[in-house]
């Protein structure tokens, strides 16, 4: 009897593998919901519930089903990396971020050395959860400081900032094109709440700016454009970053910011299109610089890693590649460098 079930289970696992290759996840659910589940098959069904729930209009029903299944096998799962990982995924997608981190950390303890893919997936989720927790706990700047920042933007950027979205306590504003600057400008208020100290012990903080073409749609779209999602992702990264951030600082992604573009990094520089008094301000004993975000292609990012920010900016100047506003179809400035 046991051998017969073992053979049936092998066939079921093969069917599951084939269905996953074909993307027929609902057939996986139908198959497993009509099977006698042991611990391994339970994990397969939980995995599929979670994958389908991410694309579902009613994810909580599937997450609840997954959680009930895991509860039925809690004794077998306490030292199983997949069990703990799936528990973490359910908590993460239910908004229980702190609890999910505990589960991901538990899962990492039991990952077999023969399963690097699982290790990578757990670490990715743990990093996401830690990032969300850091963003949630970041207080940004005070209301009075935000009013001063908005006044600075209005005075020097020649238009009224309009609130667009937010990342935690950091508000993102859009400044429409003006006669002096014929492009949209995304700006932040709140990053200066990081309260950075320079090597000299001085308070030197920053806010981030990102110039976009004048015809760029800054209405609230159903699908967030690549430029906006990139800006929000960079802001999230900066909130979590412990390094000192200033002119020339750069960030790198493992993959590009979007499947449709090659940009996989950004660098920060001064607002070269603006007068000196627009590029910084003082609030109390704190100096706040307004840094412009420059997206970089892979070869440009590699060049920046091995050269100064000024050297890279000089390349853009030599090849007459305009950086303000950002054009995602612009040429790669390093394409001719041997």
Please give the model's pTM, rounded to 2 decimal places: 0.85
| Angstrom distances, CA of residue 321 to CA of 87, 226, 301, 310 | 49, 21, 16, 15
Contact (CB, 8 A) for 172 and 179: no
Q: Which two tokens stand for residue 245?
A: 């951030």
Q: Which two tokens stand for residue 193?
A: 């709440």
Q: Give yes or no for residue 1 having a pLDDT over 70.
A: no
pLDDT at position 54: 86
State the CB neighbour count (10 A cutoff) for residue 157.
22
Three-class SS state of 289: strand
Q: Give yes or no for residue 17 having a pLDDT over 60.
A: yes
In the CATH scheme, what is the code of domain 2-137?
A: 1.25.40.10
Q: Residue holding tokens 């389908």?
A: 52
Q: Give yes or no for residue 301 having a pLDDT over 80.
A: yes
Q: Where exactly are the structural domains of the chain?
A: 2-137, 143-318
pLDDT in tens, 281-299: 999 888 999 999 999 999 9
Q: Give yes or no for residue 200 having a pLDDT over 80.
A: no
Contact (CB, 8 A) for 273 and 189: no
pLDDT in tens, 138-169: 999 999 999 999 999 999 998 999 998 999 99
pLDDT at position 68: 96
Within 13 Å of residue 93, how many CA atoms lie on the same side as its CB?
A: 22
As a whole number of angstroms, the distance between CA 117 and CA 275 comes to 50
Q: Which two tokens stand for residue 318?
A: 């030599």
Quote the mean pLDDT of the chain: 91
Of the pLDDT bands very low, low, confident and very high (cuts 50, 70, 90), residue 219 is low
Q: Which two tokens stand for residue 51?
A: 């994958």
Q: Give yes or no for residue 190 having a pLDDT over 60.
A: yes
pLDDT at position 140: 95
């Amino acid at each position: 009897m046991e051998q017969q079930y073992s053979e049936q289970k092998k066939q079921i696992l093969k069917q599951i593998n084939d269905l996953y290759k074909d993307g027929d996840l609902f057939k996986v659910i139908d198959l497993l919901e009509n099977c006698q589940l042991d611990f391994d098959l339970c994990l397969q069904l939980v995995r599929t519930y979670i994958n389908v729930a991410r694309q579902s209009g009613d994810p909580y029903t599937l997450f609840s089903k997954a959680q009930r299944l895991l509860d039925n096998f809690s004794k077998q799962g306490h030292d199983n990396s997949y069990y703990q990982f799936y528990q973490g995924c359910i908590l993460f997608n239910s908004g229980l971020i702190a609890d999910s981190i505990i589960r991901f950390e538990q899962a990492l303890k039991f990952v077999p050395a023969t399963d690097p893919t699982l290790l990578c997936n757990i670490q990715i989720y743990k990093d996401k959860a830690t990032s969300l927790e850091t963003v949630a706990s970041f207080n940004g700047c005070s209301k009075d400081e935000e009013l001063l920042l908005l006044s600075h933007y209005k005075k020097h950027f020649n238009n009224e900032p309009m609130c667009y979205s937010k990342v935690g306590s950091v508000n993102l504003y859009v400044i429409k094109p003006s006669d002096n600057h014929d492009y949209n400008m995304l700006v932040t208020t709140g990053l200066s709440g990081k309260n950075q100290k320079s090597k000299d012990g001085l308070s030197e903080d920053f806010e981030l700016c990102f110039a976009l073409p004048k015809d760029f749609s800054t209405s609230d779209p159903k699908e967030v454009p690549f430029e906006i999602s990139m800006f929000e992702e960079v802001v999230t990264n900066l909130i979590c970053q412990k390094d000192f951030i200033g002119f020339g600082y750069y960030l790198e992604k493992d993959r590009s910011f979007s499947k449709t573009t090659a940009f996989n990094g950004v660098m920060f520089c001064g607002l070269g299109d603006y007068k000196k008094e627009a590029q910084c301000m003082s609030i109390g004993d704190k100096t706040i610089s307004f840094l412009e975000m420059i997206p970089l292609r892979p070869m440009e990012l590699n060049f920046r890693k091995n050269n100064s920010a000024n050297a890279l900016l000089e390349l853009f100047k030599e090849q007459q590649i305009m950086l303000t506003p950002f054009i995602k179809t612009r040429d790669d400035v390093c394409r001719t460098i041997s």
